[in-house]
Structure 1
Amino acid sequence: MANVPGREPTAAHHLLNFIDGRWSPAESGQTRTNTNPADLSDHLGEFAESGGVDVDRAVDAAAAALPAWRAMGPIRRAAILAEAGRLLTGRAEEFARAITREQGKLLREARGEVARSRAVLDFTAGQARLLGGVTAPAEEDRTFAYTFRRPIGVVGLVSPWNFPLAIPMWKVAPALLSGCTAVFKPSPLTPLTAVLLTEVFHEAGLPDGVLNLVQGDVAAGEALVANPSVAGISFTGSLPVGTAIHTGGAHRLLRTQLELGGKNAVIVLEDADLDGAVEAVVHGAFGQAGQRCSATSRAVVDVRVRDAFLDRLVARVAGMKVGPGDDPASQICPVVNTARLDAALAAVAGAQRDGGKVLCGGGRATGEDLPDGCYVQPTVIRDVPWDSELAQEEVFGPVLAVVDADGFDDAMRISNSVKYGMSGTIFTASQSRAFEAIDRFEAGMLHVNRPGVGAYAHLPHVGAKASQYGPPECSPQVWDFYTEWHSACISY
């Protein structure tokens, strides 16, 4: 990494925040240990455990930088984003290995995340010449009427640990292009990737104070919501935390963009390509150990093909190798920490109490070739009641509930029975059923005869019901969060 004036090499400032263009420790001096979930004896370093004083300093820096950054205009701002993309590409392998080491995902999954992040950055920078308004007819002679956007001001960007680069990227990039300045608070479980991302943007020429990094947990997040100079919070994470952010800022009309949980179904009908459905379910349920908001956590299968589907699925899953993300032979990575491991095992036990039958997995993965890490066996559970806890609540682990359905209408009812609505998928040979399902799914991202996870860098990443509040991300609609509309009438 090139030396940057006023900064120390990366290894020396891992424990620091980045506020107003300078690396600094938390005011309290407190730190938190960052641990590799694949090997709990592997510590990546000590990172700042920040509080309200640190957040307020960062907000003040962002507020001071706002007028000049807004005046720069989107086209010049986009040039900095483009340079950040070039730097990211040059450090792609460094990012991927950092993601794998601190989050746990397979190295090939981490490389895919870096590529997706670059695609999001490229798409966002390309929107610079489209951030205009419209002209409108005037009701009077010799009057020009038009609309335009302005940035809302200082924004707080609060990101989760499951995509420690991609999700921050699809918050940071549009925030900056819009002309907002930002305080970025990543998950305390993935602080290293956040440091690297912050480095890239500032090496690209971002002025001091425009992007500030504050590491920490609940205290930092609460301070960000409470600070009256913060105009909006973009948050990705759990429903309870998102609800707390929204209600915590409601008294001052804080603008919020919330991407929350999911309990996503893949419907497999009687006429489905079973081999294709099995591959899609394996990818959606066990990729990244099931730790995605769009993960396939329910397979809703027509009873007429259930046994044939399960025979194929269990044969496929039972042979998958659990291991460290940097082992090329691994097919399923560890979960992110011991809390997620315990939650996955508790979900399995609860499903068994409700009558579910474990067909494969169900426990902690162990073996002489595995270090002491957070490994969960890929688990398939059949005979799961549609209204049981496992079929209704998010697990965020490699645990798949298989729910019986009696035909198309019953499958749609079961799919829509949950409070969430992130993703919906159907496997069928019927074009009519496919389009009817798209019309009836109560979810934001819909798929037919393909894996039901995510979307493209230029399509809205959006949920429905309790999965989403506010404008979607990764799309032109994101500007409805980071900017506000104005109108002007000029008589001449």
Structure 2
Amino acid sequence: MTDATDTDTDTGTPLLDHWVGGAPWRGDSERTGPIHNPATGRVSGRVRLASAADVTSVVARAAEALPGWREASVARRQGVMFSFREILNARKDELAEILTAEHGKVLSDALGEITRGLEVVEFACGSGHLLKGDYSDNVSTGVDVYTLRQPVGVVAVISPFNFPAMVPLWFLPVALVSGNAVVLKPSEKDPSAADWIARALAEAGLPDGVLNVVHGDREAVDALLDAPEVRAISFVGSTPIAKHIYERASANGKRVQALGRAKNHMLVLPDADLDLAADAAVNAGFGSAGERCMAVSVLLAVDSIADALVDKIAERMAGLRIGDGTRGCDMGPLITREHRDKVAAYLDVAASDGARIVVDGRGVVPDGDADGFWLGPSLVDRVPTSSAVYTDEIFGPVLSVVRVSGYEEGVAVIEAGPYGNGTAIFTNDGGAARRFQREVRVGMVGVNVPIPVPVAYHSFGGWKASLFGDTKAYGPQGFAFYTQEKAVTSRWLDPSHGGINLGFPQHD
């Protein structure tokens, strides 16, 4: 952990403060939480946990900074983003080390996360065309109509543990360049990246108070949902929490974009390149230890090629190196000991439900401290769709294989699920691919691409129970979420025009 500004007197470990008004801030709450290094299992620091009163103070500071930033020119806001882009790009290795130390993902994966966030920063640098309005001249005699896009106000971003840099970077550049003031509440499990980003934006010229970081747990989240000055909420996390945030924030009159759970399927047809499909299944199933909402967790294998595909995947898994993310390994630990144990328990469920455990990750020998939160990649074949191994979002390195008779049954399995975040089809049949991308009720679709995360100038988000609220994240929909459109009807009267007319205004 870096950027700590205090020391816990009981443990002697670094204590991370909030970032408010352009400086570290302690708040009044005395509660703190542990920050672990998942690769060692040891506590590396502690983080302050805000009270509801602390959140009220932070929101007030954002509201105080809002007017000046809202009235700043688009050119000035973009200038800050340009400077931030240069800082982030130059020092991404530093941020990656923080991600690896607190989340556990390997350094290459951490750098990939930052690169995807950097894409949104670069997109925000060219935001002028998405912030402009429309103009219609002389819609009626001497009457013009035009629209303005104006910021929403104070907005809150609540981000998850699995992408402590990328997810904030999905939202912050768009919200800030649109003229909003932001309160960021990162996961308390790996919070240091948020403070790092806030410091870098301050260095880039962002005025004090425009971005504030408040650390905390459920108490802080609910305080943000209830704060009258907060006009919009962005969230990424589990579906139960997303639903809670959507319902509570909406009841308080706020805009909400809440991205929830996923159970992503990869359908492999008999004509697919099985080597390509096997590589993709391993990459998408076990990258970031499976702790990502776009991970492929279910492989739908057509019966005729299922045995061969499972064998190819198992062969590739045997060559994976599991260990400390700083040692050049392929996959790191899980985020906490409790989460590791929960994920591992699904392998017992799979066996009891009649599935075949092809590769059991519980016996992994890691390249790292034995006390780390380790679980190796696991492959489970012939998983019944009634099993919790199939129905639950496991959020770990467990790849389930469900065998299907063909395209029709594969799509039917996907359609029967409650989530619609991401899906993929592997085939060399263009007709099948086109039919799949049009028919399947999922928000993000890959054709021979296992993790179909859109680039920054498109928008990210799923369908069904994977998304609650008004819009998807980043891209054009992100700008629509963080701005309000105002329509202006204008007439500059000719001195000779006048008279009384009580009728309803008409165009002439």
Larger radius of gyration: 2
Q: Which residue does the alignment assign to 2:500?
A: none
1:173-188 superposed matches below 5 A: 173-188=173-188
Deviations 1:27-52 (A, max 9, x none): 122222211101112x3322111111
Structure 1: distance between partners of 2:284 and 2:161: 18
1:444-483 superposed matches below 5 A: 444-469=443-468, 470-483=470-483
Contact 2:324 2:367 in 1 (8 A): no
Q: Which residue does the alignment assign to 1:305?
A: 305
Contact 1:74 1:129 in 2 (8 A): no
Does residue 291 (structure 1) correspond to residue 291 (structure 2)? The answer is yes
One-letter amino acid of the structure 1 residue matched with residue 160 of structure 2: P
Structure 1: distance between partners of 2:332 and 2:368: 14
Q: Which residue does the alignment assign to 1:106?
A: 106
Does residue 353 (structure 1) correspond to residue 352 (structure 2)? The answer is yes
Secondary structure, aligned partner of 1:208: coil
Residues 92, 52 of structure 1: CA spacing in aligned structure 2 closer, same or farther, 3 A cutoff?
Answer: same
- In the alignment, structure 1 segments of 5+ residues that lack a partner are 1-8
Q: Which residue does the alignment assign to 2:234?
A: 234
Q: Which residue does the alignment assign to 2:499?
A: none
When structure 1 is superposed on structure 2, of 230-239 and 88-97 the one drifting more is 88-97
One-letter amino acid of the structure 2 residue matched with residue 28 of structure 1: S
Secondary structure, aligned partner of 1:424: strand
Deviations 1:177-227 (A, max 9, x none): 111101100000111111111100111111111111101111111110011
1:258-297 superposed matches below 5 A: 258-297=258-297
Q: Which residue does the alignment assign to 1:34?
A: 35
Contact 2:124 2:177 in 1 (8 A): yes
What is the Cα deviation at residue 139 of structure 1?
4.5
When structure 1 is superposed on structure 2, of 473-482 and 55-64 the one drifting more is 473-482
Q: Which residue does the alignment assign to 1:141?
A: 141
Structure 2: distance between partners of 1:75 and 1:128: 8
1:216-255 superposed matches below 5 A: 216-255=216-255
Secondary structure, aligned partner of 2:480: helix
Residues 364, 158 of structure 1: CA spacing in aligned structure 2 closer, same or farther, 3 A cutoff?
Answer: farther
Secondary structure, aligned partner of 2:184: strand
One-letter amino acid of the structure 2 residue matched with residue 413 of structure 1: A
What is the Cα deviation at residue 174 of structure 1?
0.7
Secondary structure, aligned partner of 1:39: coil
The percentage of aligned residue pairs carrying the same residue is 34
What is the Cα deviation at residue 362 of structure 1?
4.3
What is the Cα deviation at residue 453 of structure 1?
4.5
Does residue 54 (structure 1) correspond to residue 54 (structure 2)? The answer is yes
Contact 1:266 1:452 in 2 (8 A): no
Secondary structure, aligned partner of 1:387: coil
Structure 2: distance between partners of 1:106 and 1:10: 21
Secondary structure, aligned partner of 1:184: strand
| TM-score, normalised via structure 1 length | 0.95
Secondary structure, aligned partner of 1:10: coil
Q: Which residue does the alignment assign to 1:169?
A: 169
Contact 2:181 2:211 in 1 (8 A): yes
Deviations 1:314-370 (A, max 9, x none): 111133221111111x11111111122022112222222221110002425345854
Structure 1: distance between partners of 2:414 and 2:4: 47
Q: Which residue does the alignment assign to 1:372?
A: 371
Contact 1:318 1:378 in 2 (8 A): no
Structure 1: distance between partners of 2:5 and 2:249: 36
Q: Which residue does the alignment assign to 1:434?
A: 433
What is the Cα deviation at residue 384 of structure 1?
0.6
1:393-412 superposed matches below 5 A: 393-412=392-411
What is the Cα deviation at residue 251 of structure 1?
2.3
Secondary structure, aligned partner of 2:183: strand
- Give the RMSD, CA atoms, in angstroms: 1.5
Structure 2: distance between partners of 1:250 and 1:292: 26
**How many pairs were matched up?**
482
Deviations 1:293-333 (A, max 9, x none): 010000000001001111111111133221111111x1111
Structure 1: distance between partners of 2:284 and 2:114: 19
Structure 2: distance between partners of 1:353 and 1:100: 35
Does residue 71 (structure 1) correspond to residue 64 (structure 2)? The answer is no
Q: Which residue does the alignment assign to 1:10?
A: 3
What is the Cα deviation at residue 17 of structure 1?
0.7
Structure 2: distance between partners of 1:128 and 1:371: 52
Does residue 190 (structure 1) correspond to residue 183 (structure 2)? The answer is no
Does residue 339 (structure 1) correspond to residue 338 (structure 2)? The answer is yes
Secondary structure, aligned partner of 2:373: coil
Structure 1: distance between partners of 2:366 and 2:92: 32
Secondary structure, aligned partner of 2:485: strand
Q: Which residue does the alignment assign to 2:11?
A: none
Structure 2: distance between partners of 1:129 and 1:446: 27
When structure 1 is superposed on structure 2, of 11-20 and 104-113 the one drifting more is 11-20
